[in-house]
Amino acid sequence: MSRRANMLFALVLAPVMSLVFSGSVLAEEAQRWALNMPKGVTPVSNAIYDIHMVIFWICVAIGIGVFAIMFYSMYAHRKSRGAVAANFHENTTAEVVWTVIPALILVVMAIPATSTLLDVYDTSEAEIDVKVTGYQWKWQYEYLGEDVAYMSELTTPESEIYNTAPKSQYYLQEVSEPLVLPVKTKVRFLITAKDVIHSWWVPDFGVKKDAIPGFVNETWTYVEEPGIYRGECAELCGKAHAFMPIVVNVLEKEEYNSWLAEKKAQVAAVRELAKKTFTKEELMVQGEAAYNRSCASCHMGNGEGIAGVFPGLKGSAIATGDINGHLDVVVNGKAGTAMQAFGGQLSEVDLAAIITYERNAWGNDTGDVVQPIDVLKFKQGQ
């Protein structure tokens, strides 16, 4: 019923659409003026779509019935047409009928809803487990048992957000590294958060689950077509709630396997890099980039923070004081505040670069250089 349903949907809901779609219908236009939810690419998203359409049409039918009687009365029983009011004010039969019929309709709705819900909750027999962790304001994906984990952050530059550069096609829907999944494979997601509540939503999968600090939620998906799918954080999580998108790249199984192998090699290489000694200049360059990615959303690009909410680093006691104190805050975070523990999120190289950058940027000029090996020692020394 889908294509016809969609057309009717458009006709019923928005007659204005006929103007927009007159002439050639561009795919892009259709997406821009989208009216309905996507059917998606998983069995669950398809089932949800079908329930949605069934209930939508039931509502339309009831609506037409009720409003028809109402508009008929408004036309035929107007005083200006000489209508004289009847005096009836109850009718037990009618009242029983319009209590029983809606109850039956609800039962009809509840049956497919129950079976789909049971399906949504069935996380058994998954082939791959991915742990998804929400942070303010990025996602971490960890392939359980594979020793692969990485952060996925928004890459849309500030210049596009603040309108000094033209917006690209995937404005606010592009990330540093997408979640990669194999096609036609049951994947279980273990969803949690490290700070506030987030919610992991990919409309094309029909998957949405809250990421709650201290608790692990489970959900699953089975994607039927390779492709790139985009989603969002759906639970208000602070200032950059709108700026932590989700991108999932679904690959053929072989491609996925080679991606995973490559990823593992990369992880090993980064670990090796932690033993190297960098020059201050190298650390400052890398530090600035990493700072802007991971720190600037709170402490701001100019290191001044936001008064009353996020402390500034420019001239701050931590960024200009004892190095170990600085390491401690960055690696372990600060309990009871929005300052996260970055020790598990970033590589030693990035951590060293960020700390070096923070101790020398914005006129902090301590001259201190922190090497990745220092970070490693600090971590091991705890």
Interaction residues for another protein, span 27-56 (CB under 8 A): 31-38, 45, 47-48, 51-52, 55-56
Q: Is 240 in the site for another protein (CB under 8 A)?
A: yes
* Binds another protein by CB under 8 A, chosen from 15, 19, 24, 88: 88
Find the radius of gyration of the CA atoms of the chain.
Answer: 28
In the bound state with another protein, the residue whose beta carbon lies nearer, of 167 and 253, is 167
How far apart, in Å, are the Cα atoms of 323 and each of 288, 294, 318, 344?
18, 20, 8, 19
163 sits in the region (left: phi over 0; alpha: psi -120 to 50; else beta) called left
In the bound state with another protein, the residue whose beta carbon lies nearer, of 186 and 264, is 186
Helix (H, G, I), strand (E, B) or coil at 307: coil
How far apart, in Å, are the Cα atoms of 166 and each of 157, 158, 246?
11, 11, 22
**Closest approach of Cβ 304 to another protein, in Å?**
14
Q: Is 121 in the site for another protein (CB under 8 A)?
A: yes
φ/ψ of residue 288, rounded to 5: -60, -45
* Binds another protein by CB under 8 A, chosen from 42, 133, 152, 199: 199
Q: How far apart are alpha carbons 136 and 151 in whole angstroms?
A: 12
Q: How far apart are alpha carbons 122 and 128 in whole angstroms?
A: 14
* Binds another protein by CB under 8 A, chosen from 131, 239, 264, 314: 239
**Closest approach of Cβ 221 to another protein, in Å?**
11
Q: Is 95 in the site for another protein (CB under 8 A)?
A: yes
Q: Is 332 in the site for another protein (CB under 8 A)?
A: no
In the bound state with another protein, the residue whose beta carbon lies nearer, of 56 and 222, is 56
* Binds another protein by CB under 8 A, chosen from 129, 142, 146, 160: 160
Q: Is 61 in the site for another protein (CB under 8 A)?
A: no
Helix (H, G, I), strand (E, B) or coil at 311: coil
**Closest approach of Cβ 215 to another protein, in Å?**
7
In the bound state with another protein, the residue whose beta carbon lies nearer, of 93 and 277, is 93
Q: Is 161 in the site for another protein (CB under 8 A)?
A: yes
* Binds another protein by CB under 8 A, chosen from 21, 57, 201, 362: 201
* Binds another protein by CB under 8 A, chosen from 114, 176, 258, 302: 114
* CB-based burial label for 37 (10 Å; 0-12, 13-18, 19+): middle
Strand partners, 199: 210
Q: Is the peptide bond before 137 cis (omega within 30 degrees of 0)?
A: yes
**Closest approach of Cβ 309 to another protein, in Å?**
5
Q: Is 98 in the site for another protein (CB under 8 A)?
A: yes
Helix (H, G, I), strand (E, B) or coil at 298: helix
* Binds another protein by CB under 8 A, chosen from 1, 64, 78, 227: 78
Instruction: Find out whether 247 and 178 touch, Cβ atoms under 8 Å.
Output: yes
Q: 346-375: which residues touch another protein (CB under 8 A)? A: none
Choose among 227, 213, 218, 215: nearest CA to 183: 227
In the bound state with another protein, the residue whose beta carbon lies nearer, of 206 and 372, is 206
Q: 262-321: which residues touch another protein (CB under 8 A)? A: 306-309
Count residues near another protein (CB under 8 A).
107
Q: Is 3 in the site for another protein (CB under 8 A)?
A: no
Q: How far apart are alpha carbons 279 and 277 in whole angstroms?
A: 7
